Amino acid sequence: MTGDDRDGQPARAASSSDRDREDRLSRAAAALAAAEGMVAAAGPGPRRAGGRDAGSVAPPPDDPAAQSPEADPESVARAIVLRQLSMAPRSRAQLERKLRQRGCDDDVAARVLDRMTQVGLVDDEAYAEMLVRARHAGKGLARRALAHELRKQGIDQDVAEEALGQVGAGDERMRAEQLVQKRMRSLHGLPAEVQTRRLAGLLARKGYSSEVAWPVIREAVGAAPEHQRD
């Protein structure tokens, strides 16, 4: 399992990869503060409805302020990125899509994101590791489903494989057992074939292979009190 104390599993001691990850997150936090300072020091951009300027919140592409000759495209792009990152971690590909949606030039977007990557504010490795930990522990996703999630977010295959290394075969088996045990509480009293079918559907949706799913399901259904013979 991961280092988080979830589902009753004890947290393991911090590894060097955990410490490296914390270092990256600390650097990213410092870079965010520095980047926000750069935006503030640049002064207010073109005003928009409600009194905000392009240096703090970028105007939407159909806002006349976005077309102002006074607008600095890189400042606007940087503000969009900072706002996105202030709401939740993002992959570089997600930020590229958002900048394109907001009408930013591809070259401008590339320069801004390159700089953000250099200072550690955009970090696909840290993002991928975070996503794998969160979705495996929180949603119970298996490696196959996690790989699909990483592809959707535009994570490079090598980076994805490294992040997926956090979830081993034993972790998958343990998480599948937890999911099945939880679901069995709501399936109590149903015929064994119904329980089996519903549990199989649950684990399939979470990305578990049949090699992992079926032994766990057979064990859980076979141990159910309603299927025990006197």
State which amino acid sits at residue 27.
R
- Which pair of tokens denotes residue 158? 């090598």
Res 5: pLDDT: 40
* 205 plus 178 within the same structural domain: yes
Tell me: pLDDT of 76 over 70. yes
How many domains are contained in the chain? Answer: 3
pLDDT tens for 132-187 read: 999 999 999 999 999 999 999 999 999 999 999 999 999 999 999 999 999 999 99
116 — phi, psi (to 5°)? -65, -35
pLDDT band of residue 227 (cuts 50, 70, 90) is: confident
pLDDT band of residue 25 (cuts 50, 70, 90) is: low
* 113 plus 149 within the same structural domain: no
* 97 plus 26 within the same structural domain: yes
* 36 plus 100 within the same structural domain: yes
Residues forming a β-bridge with 47: 53
Does 7 map to a domain?
no
Does 69 map to a domain?
yes
CA distance 43 to 21: 34
Does 89 map to a domain?
yes
* 179 plus 97 within the same structural domain: no
Write down the pTM of the prediction.
0.68
Res 170: pLDDT: 94
User: Using alpha carbons only, how large is the chain's radius of gyration in Å?
Assistant: 23
Res 24: pLDDT: 54
Phi-psi category of 69—alpha, beta or left, where left has phi over 0 and alpha has psi -120 to 50? alpha
Res 183: pLDDT: 97
Does 10 map to a domain?
no
Is 80 in contact with 142 (CB distance < 8 Å)?
no
CA distance 133 to 164: 9
For 144, the domain range is 124-164
Kindly give the interhelix angle for 16-41 and 73-87, rounded to the nearest 10 degrees.
140
For residue 25, what are the contacts with CB-CB under 8 A and spacing of at least 6?
126
Does 149 map to a domain?
yes
Q: Which carries the bigger pLDDT value, residue 204 or residue 21?
A: 204
